Structure 1
Amino acid sequence: MATTKNGETITLNRAQLTHAATIITVGGQTAGVGRPGVLIALMAALTESSLRMLANTGSYPESGDYPNDGNGSDHDSLGLFQMRPAAGWGTVHDLMNPSYQAHAFYGGPSGPNYPSPRGLLDIPNWQQLDPGAAAQAVEVSAYPDRYQNFQPVAETILTTLTAPTTGTGNTGNSNIPETTRVVFPLPDGSWVKTGGFGGRADPFTFEPDYHFGTDYGAADGTLIFAVADGIVVHAGYTGTWGGLIIIEHTVQGERVASYYAHMWEHGIHVTDGMTVTAGQHIGDVGSSGKSTGAHLHLEIRPGGQGQPAIDSDKWLQDQGAEGLTDGETSRASCTLGGHK
């Protein structure tokens, strides 16, 4: 159950929540979307279809042959986001697929509708718009003010469906599903390896030191991705680490924690207890804490949070991480040597 902005209480069924989960998952796997973009997509689908996969047999008789949650009659629109084949969103076959509709709504260079009609990522400065206005910019509805009414419902859905199934945060949740894949934490071609795992000289004091992670130099603001499906157990600012995210995963039956350090506070896009998918945009590269330049400090800790770290670069190679390319080694750019 959830309550709209105007005070109406609505109840969502399993089918509606399944579609919401699809929208959340596709958003998590699409670079640049983040939690704000997923919220906007949920608001749009709630408004357009009540999160139902609607056929439209009046305009497209064949649409009734696909799995659906009912028959709509809004001109020639179809599906969760009420997209129109005639407007270029896709074929009837395409638009009767919930995952396709979610990809099309988010748009961007990887969207099936790029460059037109515009998805959310194709709207200039969409992050600065009111969420309802951003939804309207994609949907181009005759009723532009109706999306805001569903923002509280979308917030409730997003919070509920991204919460861990048992336990939260640092409570030691042992029910983390096996990850579906392992990915490299930065976009291809955006990084240079600037520091490896092991002994070195501290770049501040020049004293002998030990580096427990791998540093990847990248431009300030470069997207950071979760290396695997998992649950966020820490997301916040922590002194020497700067902006730090810790995610716990299950990889090949083993508990593994991944650490992502040195983000600016505003560059952290997840919260404690949030469920994330491999490749989800969780933060942006920064240079906070004890750091000499913009980069990602990545640590991998088998056994979970607080356990000894291993060579994260080698671990990614051993896992055959998607998007892994060879980096060029240069100087180390952070000093987490003796920390934890």
Structure 2
Amino acid sequence: MLKKLAIGALALMFLAPTLGLVSIGLVMNTAALAACTVSGSGVSVRNVPDSLQVTTADGYTFTLNKRQLTHAATIITVGSKIEGVNRDALKISLMAALTESTLRMLANTGTYPESGDYPNDGNGSDNDSLGLFQMRPQSGWGTVAELMDPEYQVAAFFGRPTGPNYPSPRGLLDIPGWESMGLGEVAQAVEVSAYPERYDNYAPVAEEILVTLTTGGASASATTPAGSLSNASNTSSKVVFPLPEGTWVQSDDFGPRIDPISGEQTTHHGLDFAAPDGTPILAAVDGVVTVAEFSDNWGGLIVIEHQLDNETVATAYAHMWQTGIHVTAGEPVVAGQHIGDVGSSGYSTGAHLHFEVRPGGTNGTAIDPAAWLNDHEAANLPEATTGPSNCEAGGTR
């Protein structure tokens, strides 16, 4: 649960390594949940659509796929059978799983190689965390085998004397007075995250999931999403800004500049946006992740390839902490999806996002991201100038 910050070494050149595809396994039979009804809290799962478009409290929209919604149905189904779990508790659990894993069952082969042998939706790298709620064996939540079982994780999250981890770590029902606490506050009390403010951002998403899965019918946005994960390779024209509104300031331009660390004349191949450490980084367009790794050069690096206006283009996002990468190579993503967190690793002077746009794909030659974002109505930024610029806040070469 607790985020551990790792500081990368300085480097002089940008490398663009690629990763092999991460195998993804289905955790459950989605058809079996399509008409599942449960009792206990009065909440019943009646429908699992193929996709659902949702919007966070800070106004960003993304699409959950069938697999993610199936995990949500598991949380509702298992939780509804536990005495003391009401609708608010279910909503809190969805908020927690959305924040911790984006409703994905994550292995962690870097710490536990055997975790990759269990059905999973990709590979995480946050300390020794596993699964939907990113629970840690070393913190006493359970064994690797137990935590790679989504139903076990749900039972552990809710806790109580009959729960698998009682009396410690505490589940939701083990927290005195949780009913009178804020929803995000309860999620934080269970998760003990380094970023407690994030859970409330997913409250409207959790509510939309509950309504959709328990009323027997998806919303209009669920049946006609702007971008579905199952269709991520199709041409898309939707472009969103890679950071939430109001969280950033532009700290360096694209083009010639004086390097803020070496003091030498160099060329900056992207834009830098200074933002608080841990600010969510958002996928700019529907696409497929081609790079998701931590290196000495650019710290945490994500590259996504998109089919945009019938052409291939890649976007790159750099300088995340190792624990701030939330996607894996080969994973489809949608515009606005939370893919990582702002950090300051690698060749960096402070917390910021270095953002690049590369026509042609992952290894294409970078162009001015400001012009590209403006052309696609995702921003109103000053475009590159011919003169040098200087980094006044968090930045990198």
Question: TM-score, normalised to structure 2's length?
Answer: 0.49
Q: CA, structure 1 residues 193+30, in 2 after alignment: closer, same or farther (shift >3 Å)?
A: closer
* 2:51 is aligned with 1:22: yes
Pairing of 1:41-120 with structure 2 (within 5 A): 42-46=70-74, 48=76, 106=95
The Cα offsets for residues 4-53 of structure 1, whole Å up to 9 and x where unpaired, read as 6xxxxx5627968x935425x53899889999xx9886434136469xxx
In structure 2, give the amino acid aligned to 1:125: Q
* 2:312 is aligned with 1:255: yes
* 2:360 is aligned with 1:331: no
Query: SS state of the match for residue 31, structure 2?
Result: coil
Tell me the distance in 2 between the aligned counterparts of 1:256 and 1:120.
40
- Of residues 176, 187, 192, the one that matches 1:124 is 187
Query: SS state of the match for residue 266, structure 1?
Result: helix
Query: SS state of the match for residue 124, structure 1?
Result: helix
* 2:269 is aligned with 1:203: no
Deviation at 1:314, TM superposition (A): 1.4
Tell me the distance in 2 between the aligned counterparts of 1:117 and 1:179.
44
Instruction: Name 2:162's counterpart in structure 1.
Output: none
Tell me the distance in 2 between the aligned counterparts of 1:20 and 1:118.
32
Query: SS state of the match for residue 236, structure 2?
Result: coil
* 2:332 is aligned with 1:275: yes
Query: SS state of the match for residue 240, structure 1?
Result: coil
In structure 1, give the amino acid aligned to 2:391: R
In structure 2, give the amino acid aligned to 1:12: A
Q: CA, structure 1 residues 222+2, in 2 after alignment: closer, same or farther (shift >3 Å)?
A: closer
The Cα offsets for residues 118-168 of structure 1, whole Å up to 9 and x where unpaired, read as 9975743177179xxx9xxx89xxxxxxxxxxxxxxxxxxxxx96x78xxx
Q: CA, structure 1 residues 32+242, in 2 after alignment: closer, same or farther (shift >3 Å)?
A: farther
Q: CA, structure 1 residues 3+318, in 2 after alignment: closer, same or farther (shift >3 Å)?
A: closer
Tell me the distance in 2 between the aligned counterparts of 1:19 and 1:266.
31
In structure 1, give the amino acid aligned to 2:290: V
State the percentage of identical aligned residues.
39
Tell me the distance in 1 between the aligned counterparts of 2:31 and 2:300.
36
Q: CA, structure 1 residues 40+274, in 2 after alignment: closer, same or farther (shift >3 Å)?
A: closer
The Cα offsets for residues 194-231 of structure 1, whole Å up to 9 and x where unpaired, read as 11111111112111100000000111111110001111
Unaligned runs of at least 5 residues, structure 1: 5-9, 51-73, 75-81, 88-100, 109-115, 140-160, 166-174
Q: Residues 374 and 380 of structure 2 are in contact (CA less than 8 Å); yes or no, is this contact kept in structure 1?
A: no
* 2:344 is aligned with 1:287: yes
Higher RCO (C-alpha under 8 Å, 6+ residues apart):
2
Tell me the distance in 2 between the aligned counterparts of 1:257 and 1:117.
46
Pairing of 1:220-259 with structure 2 (within 5 A): 220-259=277-316
Q: Residues 234 and 245 of structure 1 are in contact (CA less than 8 Å); yes or no, is this contact kept in structure 2?
A: yes
Tell me the distance in 2 between the aligned counterparts of 1:43 and 1:120.
20
Tell me the distance in 2 between the aligned counterparts of 1:285 and 1:177.
28
Deviation at 1:236, TM superposition (A): 0.9
Tell me the distance in 2 between the aligned counterparts of 1:118 and 1:281.
26
Tell me the distance in 1 between the aligned counterparts of 2:237 and 2:181.
30
The Cα offsets for residues 158-199 of structure 1, whole Å up to 9 and x where unpaired, read as xxx96x78xxxxxxxxx8212251000111111111111111
The Cα offsets for residues 283-332 of structure 1, whole Å up to 9 and x where unpaired, read as 110000000111000000011111100000111011101xx3558x9725
Query: SS state of the match for residue 315, structure 1?
Result: helix
Q: CA, structure 1 residues 296+238, in 2 after alignment: closer, same or farther (shift >3 Å)?
A: same
* 2:359 is aligned with 1:302: yes
Q: Residues 179 and 250 of structure 1 are in contact (CA less than 8 Å); yes or no, is this contact kept in structure 2?
A: yes
Instruction: Name 1:12's counterpart in structure 2.
Output: 31
Question: TM-score, normalised to structure 1's length?
Answer: 0.56
Q: Residues 291 and 302 of structure 2 are in contact (CA less than 8 Å); yes or no, is this contact kept in structure 1?
A: yes
**Pairs aligned (count):** 237
Unaligned runs of at least 5 residues, structure 2: 1-24, 36-46, 99-178, 194-198, 200-205, 208-227, 383-388
